[in-house]
């Protein structure tokens, strides 16, 4: 079966982790993760951009209907 998306990581069927390595996160990136959360009916996602001097600055928490 072909899915319309491919999540980078799904942890314990609870959290989707979407990995990026871009100069700057664009508005489409959190929307993409939120769409993944809605499709899977999961509540929590982490958007991680590895192109930051400090990884803590590259982590965004995205929630679905909380």
pLDDT, tens digit (0-9, with 9 covering 90-100), for 40-64: 999 999 999 999 999 999 999 999 9
pTM of the model: 0.88
pLDDT bracket for residue 7 (50, 70, 90): confident
Distance CA 7, CA 56 (A): 21
CA-to-CA dists, residue 52 to 14, 22, 29, angstroms: 26, 9, 16
pLDDT at 2: 64
DSSP 52: S
Distance CA 9, CA 24 (A): 21
pLDDT bracket for residue 1 (50, 70, 90): low
Q: Which residue has the higher pLDDT, 65 or 48?
A: 48
């Amino acid at each position: 079966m072909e899915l319309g998306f491919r999540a980078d990581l799904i942890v314990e069927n609870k959290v989707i982790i979407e990995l990026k390595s871009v100069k700057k996160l664009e508005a489409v990136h959190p929307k993409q993760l939120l769409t993944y959360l809605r499709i899977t009916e999961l509540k929590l996602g982490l958007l991680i951009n590895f192109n930051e001097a400090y990884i803590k600055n590259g982590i965004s928490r995205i929630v679905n209907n909380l």
